[in-house]
Amino acid sequence: MKQFKSQFTHFILLLLSCFVLSCKKSPADKPDVIIPSIKVTNASQARSTSESVMHLQFTLDKTTTVPASVDYTLKDGTAVAVKDFVAASGTVTIPPNKTMADLTITIKGDPSNTRQPNLTFNIVLSNPKNCTIAAGTAQAVIITEDGTNLTTDSTGYRTPLSYPGYKLLWNDEFSGDQIDPNNWNFEIGNGDNGWGNHELEYYTNSPKNVFVSNGNLIIEARKESISGFNYSSARMTTQNKKAFTFGRIDIRAKLPVAKGMWPALWMLGSNISTVPWPACGEIDIMELIGTDPKTTHSTLHWGASTQSHASKGAAYTLPSGDFSQQFHVFSAVWVKDSINFLVDDQLYLTVSKTDLGTANYPFNDPQFFIFNVAVGGDWPGPPDNSTSFPQRMFVDYVRVFQ
């Protein structure tokens, strides 16, 4: 009996020992310490004429009960310290139980508000404490592509402000800092079926796409996502504001030349709202297809309906260079029953009423101006990898003499 009690007592002690051991936690049984990771997000700030601040956001992927910190340094890119931003380095600390901290960087102003490609610099992270670095570098962008000041070489052909036997009836020299709303309208969108040509751009009235600077009207085509389209540009008209019948028209312009670009300076019959195209008549003073950068086209379009549409035109090819390198003057000398087309005062096309045969001749009635830069379309085809953006058309002046 004593032996049985001794064995029973030993058994109970063994069970208690196992229970105590099972309650003890070995190092291997301890839960892992989870260390948060830190990153700084990419940031951007539009440059203004005076100093401004850019906010950099540092974030942890989870909270921690101790402060987490990381060192940062700003590194030059196309943006350069002192000139474009104030150099800075230091430490950013995120307090316990928080996941975010904000740092402000000073961006230098540009009093001239120059339009140029956006500028970039980098934020480089190092020396994390109580955290790890999720990504060692982020990019900061100073947005300068929307500046209102843009210069271009003004060399090229010019025409006079007066001609014998003519009087200057109307002109726009684009010499102010705003587009004159008494002269110009803006058409918005992509029109019907890409303005009838399967064009790829979305037209806006934004100063990103159309503005005046240093005596030039500038229409800028951009590669950007907008209202379901991949390109933006501008199309402006004088419809219901300025219309003309006969006279000499001079337009001095420098053109974009790249695959998929289609700049145009042209006119439509003022009665288009009641007499649809092509019966209203269309006068294409200048069109250029980017794959042929040294050639422009002038064309008249007419016809009782789209089914009977007819046209007559010709091409002018520069003896050297292309139409993006200098300004050229595109002219129409328009009289009753006839129109002559010229480039730099060189006559290369005449269309007269007799060329239309029995068709109605719509070109003795008023027409209004249209200036635009199309992207893509049936004639030029789409841009490709060789096409850089932005692409710009500069117009120095438009003048009408009678």
Which residues is 337 bridged to in the sheet? none
- In this structure, what token pair is assigned to residue 402? 């009678």
Helix, strand, coil % in the chain, rounded to nearest 5 = 10, 45, 45
Q: Is the peptide bond before 276 cis (omega within 30 degrees of 0)?
A: no
> Catalytic residue positions?
282, 287
Contact predicate 369/397, CB 8 Å? no
Distances (CA, A) of 173 to 176, 253, 368, 397: 8, 12, 17, 4
Angle at 325 between CA 321 and CA 331, to 5 degrees: 85
Q: Which residues of 77-112 are buried (b: 16+ CB within 10 A; e: fewer)?
A: eebeeeebbeeeeeebebeeeebebebebebbebee
CA 89 to chain centroid, in Å, comes to 33
Burial status of residue 163 (CB atoms within 10 A of its CB: 0-12, 13-18, 19 or more): middle
Q: Which residues contact 319 (CB under 8 A, 6 or more apart)?
A: none
Contact predicate 280/362, CB 8 Å? yes
